[in-house]
A and B are shown apart, each in its own frame.
Chain A
Amino acid sequence: MEPSETSAQADETVTVNLFVNGEPRQLQVTSNVVLLDALRDELHLTGTKKGCDHGQCGACTVHVEGKAINSCLRLAVMCEGQHITTVEGLARNGELHPVQRAFLDHDAYQCGYCTPGQMMSAAALLEDDRIAADDASVREAMSGNICRCGAYKNILEAVQDARQVMVSGTEGRS
């Protein structure tokens, strides 16, 4: 379905249709509202965190059309008709995503504020076969997620552990 044309005056509220974690959602926002604030304040999906609000920390990482992006630098109106996955949508049928399970198992956080963004980046990179599986490549692909507590070592271990689970899961299904 082609997204409908959007035209908004400054200060004018417009309707935006999104699919968030598989559910159709409708928002009423002005054109200067970023996706991050729309998710948190309008849809009350507060798992996605606001860190720097300038695309420098990665705490706000969500998937738009399957790609990890900084939701602080994307206008909600630019997402008309698009599919968005937030950290609330990672678990399926009450079962944690392998990345979530691995973050728990490896204690891959201290304060936890960057964790949703870290997990969204991790989940995306594990589905992206253009990113090599070695530690250096994972660290490079995850460098847009800053951890003020410095839990990087355990984060890396968690990502690589989740990779093993996801690979064996795929083999199990085939």
Chain B
Amino acid sequence: MRTFAYRTADDVTQAVTTHGADDQVAYVAGGTTLLDLVKLDVMRPTQLVDINRLPLGEVETLDDGRLRIGATVTNTELAHHPEVKARYPLLSQALLAGASTQLRNMATTAGNIMQRTRCPYYRDASAACNRREPGSGCDAMHGINRMHAVLGVSDQCIATHPSDMCIAMAAIGATLTLEGPDGKREIAFNDFHRLPGDQPEKEHELRPGELITYITLDTPIEGAGAYYLKLRDRASYEFALASAGALVSIQDGVIHEARLALGGVATKPWRSHEAEQALHNQPAAVSTFEMAAEAAMQDAVPHEHNAFKIPLARQAIVRALREACKDAENANEPR
């Protein structure tokens, strides 16, 4: 592995000051993406700032009912946190569907948001990749693109966003708190990741030196059922071919509110407003779910090896919605 300088920091201000606006400096928390990619020579930081000692390891319910998660809370802690299990079961399910026990024990909440694509051409420093090296081309476009995205693609990049956790956050809704050399600001979770467009190297809205300090989840939808379905090549410890995170609340057999987000098929954590529109005020029935699935995938663009993802995602959507509705019905029954 190439060499780099290493500094610890004890608080956010010290971390941000140590980092500065130098884009060759990287924050490190779990390190599960960063060190992997440094070993592959895909990321080439000259210095790491270790943020594990920052006081960002707490999960806290705010007075307004939202849940504030510190950047360095691990995926394991978050998945098993009593407030998350009780009020945000979709997030707990999605976290536990991701990676392995060891990786979840290391990986942090902010780090999961910042994880890079698993596109094999991105991860191979000798391949052409516009995301890794702007203007170099895209070997995935005409290569082995079975795992690649069908939604949000551009002629520059078709790499999928790999996170399960982020699919739940996209559905639930959240606000990120960022702190950098120019101070503190907030950004909506669903505005944070960028579509590749003609600048696939710009993956997110972080400004130079900015650090994600907190992720604050919106208040949960009252009485909603939740279900995260992940379809993959093996039963565990594998990235999604297609995944669907659904939240549905039902009143008198009619869908009152629905949220749907997709993973494994899109270039960013994919909230499907089209599907949600198709569900709103409609009967909670399979025919409705099928229309929503159709709407969600109507703009999908397949490449040579990944056209199968379009019907697969549709089926994932129908199943996730059906299970979320069942969950909502169970939740509304007097116990």
Known: A78-B28, A78-B50. A8 touches B106 (CB 8 A): no
- Nearest-neighbour CB distance to chain A for B71, whole angstroms, equals 16
Query: What number of residue pairs across chains A and B have CB atoms under 8 A from each other?
Result: 104
Q: How far is the CA of A31 from the CA of B237 in the complex (A)?
A: 29
Contact A70 B236 (CB under 8 A): no
> Could you give, for residues 7-19 of chain B, a 1 whenever the CB lies within 8 Å of some chain A CB and a 0 otherwise?
1101000000000
Q: How far is the CA of A32 from the CA of B102 in the complex (A)?
A: 21
Is B52 among interface residues, defined by CB-CB distance under 8 A?
yes
Inter-chain contacts of B237 with A (CB < 8 A): 143-144
Contact B99 A54 (CB under 8 A): no
- Nearest-neighbour CB distance to chain B for A141, whole angstroms, equals 5
Contact A10 B106 (CB under 8 A): no
Known: A6-B8, A8-B6. A144 touches B102 (CB 8 A): yes
Within 8 A of A (CB), among B12-69: 28, 30-32, 35-36, 38-40, 46-48, 50, 52-53
Contact A73 B31 (CB under 8 A): yes
Inter-chain contacts of B53 with A (CB < 8 A): 3
Inter-chain contacts of B8 with A (CB < 8 A): 3, 5-7, 80
Known: A6-B6, A125-B101, A143-B235. 15 other contacts (CB 8 A): A3-B8, A5-B8, A8-B6, A8-B7, A12-B5, A14-B6, A54-B36, A54-B40, A68-B102, A70-B32, A73-B36, A74-B31, A78-B52, A124-B101, A141-B101
Inter-chain contacts of A141 with B (CB < 8 A): 101
Interface size class of A (residues with CB under 8 A): 35 or more
- Nearest-neighbour CB distance to chain A for B72, whole angstroms, equals 12
Is A77 among interface residues, defined by CB-CB distance under 8 A?
yes
Inter-chain contacts of A30 with B (CB < 8 A): 3
Inter-chain contacts of B4 with A (CB < 8 A): 10, 31-32
Closest residue of A by beta carbon distance from B46: A10
Within 8 A of B (CB), among A7-29: 7-12, 14
Is A55 among interface residues, defined by CB-CB distance under 8 A?
yes
Is A130 among interface residues, defined by CB-CB distance under 8 A?
yes
Residues of B within 8 A of A (CB): 1-8, 10, 28, 30-32, 35-36, 38-40, 46-48, 50, 52-53, 76, 80, 99-103, 105-106, 235-237
Within 8 A of B (CB), among A76-124: 77-78, 80, 121, 124
- Nearest-neighbour CB distance to chain B for A12, whole angstroms, equals 8
Candidate in B8, B38, B39, B102 with the most chain A CB atoms within 10 angstroms: B102
Out of B7, B28, B47, B80, which one reaches A6, CB within 8 Å?
B7
- Nearest-neighbour CB distance to chain B for A86, whole angstroms, equals 14
Closest 8 CB pairs of A and B: A144-B100, A31-B6, A143-B236, A143-B237, A10-B3, A67-B105, A8-B6, A70-B102
Is A34 among interface residues, defined by CB-CB distance under 8 A?
yes
Contact A69 B105 (CB under 8 A): yes
Out of B3, B46, B102, which one reaches A55, CB within 8 Å?
B102
Is A157 among interface residues, defined by CB-CB distance under 8 A?
no
Candidate in A7, A32, A53, A140 with the most chain B CB atoms within 10 angstroms: A32
